[in-house]
Copies of this chain bind each other. A is one copy, B any other.
Amino acid sequence: MAGFLGALSGPQAHSAIGPDSVVLVPVGAIEQHGPHLPLSVDFVIADEAASAVVNQLGDELDLLVAPTLPFSKSNEHAWSSGTIWLSADTMHQMLDDIARCVAFSGARRIVFLNGHGGNSSLLTTACREIRLAHNLLTFVIHPFLPPAYSAPELTASHSTELGMGIHGGLQETSVMMHLRPDLVDLSQAIRNVPEWLAANEHVKFGGSVQFGWLSDDFGPHGHIGDPTGASAGLGAELFDESVGSLCDQLREIAAFSFPS
């Protein structure tokens, strides 16, 4: 049965958690997303996606959702007041602590539902570390795939963004208008797309060369993308599609194991 870990008592947790349990850890962030979006975008999306997944999966899977981590590795936004970021070292330790407890509980699968693209590589690394250290099956899923993991046709789909709506762009803005319209001020939305980067063949988002960037490397606005055409309707569509896909992914995860 899908549900929230925090709602169980100790004895219930002892009974409920077993080899078939999938523990889902939503990973949020508090970080600037440009002038039109709140600091809590990644927190809201990870948190709401996790809740939607629980509701949709109902009795289908033995899924336990942990509370959403509010802070993560947002150091690309360190320059902006209000961003709260954990160092890579702190975050690796925190994930290891959590995984140790999940392994102790008897579950065999841990899934990070990552709302913040800046965590993707660290979470991928952590998957292997945790697999080796705690013998868990480990997974990372994303409500919206960061460029490094997206097929080119997807990231290129919004033409005014040139495939670079990676932070506070059309997609995230629309989803926030759907989930928390009170926190979006579309009147502040402006297009901020590094067109010069699109001219590169290799060094670009999702290109063959990975490169280190801070969000103020692309100017003072803080977001990267074109939120001007965002709408709650598009957001609802994207969010539902994402939740549907996350449920499919979780079904595959719940059935996944290595041949012994």
Report A's interface with B, CB cutoff 8 A.
Answer: 4-14, 17, 28, 30, 32-40, 43-44, 66-71, 73, 75-78, 80-90, 92-94, 97-98, 101-102, 104-106, 118, 120-132, 136-142, 145, 148-149, 151-152, 183, 185, 188, 196, 200-203, 208-214, 217-219, 222, 245, 248-249, 252-253, 256, 258-259
Tell whether, in the assembled complex, residue A259 and residue B219 are in contact, meaning their CB atoms are under 8 Å apart. yes
Contacts of A203 in B (CB 8 A): 139, 249, 252-253, 256
Q: Indicate which residue in B35, B44, B210, B253 contacts A209 across the interface (CB closer than 8 Å).
A: B253
Tell whether, in the assembled complex, residue A132 and residue B214 are in contact, meaning their CB atoms are under 8 Å apart. yes
6 closest residue pairs by CB, A with B: A13-B82, A10-B32, A6-B40, A127-B212, A131-B212, A67-B70
**Nearest CB of chain B from residue A102's CB, rounded to whole Å:** 8
Contacts of A124 in B (CB 8 A): 121, 148, 210
Give how many copies assemble into the complex: 6
Tell whether, in the assembled complex, residue A14 and residue B125 are in contact, meaning their CB atoms are under 8 Å apart. no
Contacts of A93 in B (CB 8 A): 86-87, 89-90, 93
Tell whether, in the assembled complex, residue B97 and residue A86 are in contact, meaning their CB atoms are under 8 Å apart. yes
Contacts of A44 in B (CB 8 A): 6
Tell whether, in the assembled complex, residue B98 and residue A84 are in contact, meaning their CB atoms are under 8 Å apart. yes
**Nearest CB of chain B from residue A231's CB, rounded to whole Å:** 19
**CA separation between A67 and B71, bound complex, in Å?**
9
Contacts of A249 in B (CB 8 A): 202-203, 208-209
Tell whether, in the assembled complex, residue A9 and residue B34 are in contact, meaning their CB atoms are under 8 Å apart. yes
Can you add 5 more A-B contacts, CB < 8 Å, to A69-B70, A122-B125? Answer: A6-B44, A7-B38, A76-B132, A78-B101, A201-B252
**CA separation between A135 and B127, bound complex, in Å?**
29
Question: Which residue, of A68, A90, A138, A152, has the highest number of chain B Cβ atoms within 10 A?
Answer: A90
Tell whether, in the assembled complex, residue B82 and residue A14 are in contact, meaning their CB atoms are under 8 Å apart. yes
**CA separation between A78 and B98, bound complex, in Å?**
11
Tell whether, in the assembled complex, residue A209 and residue B33 are in contact, meaning their CB atoms are under 8 Å apart. no
Contacts of A214 in B (CB 8 A): 128, 131-132
Contacts of A70 in B (CB 8 A): 6, 66-70
